[in-house]
Amino acid sequence: MFTALHIGVLALQGDFERHLHHVHLLHAATREVRRGADLDGLDALIIPGGESTTIHKLIDRFAMRDILTGFLKQHPVWGTCAGSILLAREVDDDRITPFGIIDVAVSRNAYGRQVHSFFASVNARLGKNQVILPASFIRAPIVSDPGPDVCVLAEYEGHPVLLEQRDCLISTFHTELHDDPMLTRYFLEKVLVATHGRSDSSAYRSAS
């Protein structure tokens, strides 16, 4: 299904191994991205959850910011939790300079500290299907002020938690910690359309 795709996962810090696992389950090729050269030949990038300020510092320490900026403007990207912070237009923390790939504002750790983490089931619209996603909110951010071109795919308690704009997808929660790769499947479908100009009609069969 997705065997022609090459998906990178930013592996500077955070839960990148679970994202790699889910992509493997769907038979796409994967690569851990730790240097700018690791982006060569990739169809898309996943920026995982973790500590957003730490990931931000490591991006600059390894001189990746310019090449990442160019890549993100031309390829599909999915940011989870910390990844969504880094991809936003605006962040409420002056220690972070976000990439501005999706037109939203983000507040870090808006639900509280690690002890306030929680699990929920989130109703989402993926393609033509309404699905229920397992969602772990771990020091999760809150998204606000989405721009007119941003599509909200899911909300939780009145807050947008899953959004997309063109080839950029962000989720403030984690699904990769659970067994169902449904959201990863949705992202790979977006990548397939962006890179090969076609949609795989079987991609959401398990979600229907």
Residues assigned a catalytic role: 81, 174, 176
Strand-pair category, 6-10 with 29-33:
parallel
| Paired residues of 65 in beta bridges | none
The DSSP 8-state label assigned to residue 192 in this structure reads H
Q: Give yes or no for a contact between 28 and 189, defined as CB atoms under 8 angstroms apart.
A: no
Helix (H, G, I), strand (E, B) or coil at 11: coil
Three-state SS across 66-113?
HHHHHHHHHCCEEEECHHHHHHCCEECCCCCCCCCCCCCEEECCCCCC
Output phi, psi for 39, to 5 deg.
Answer: -80, -15
Strand-pair category, 105-107 with 142-144:
antiparallel
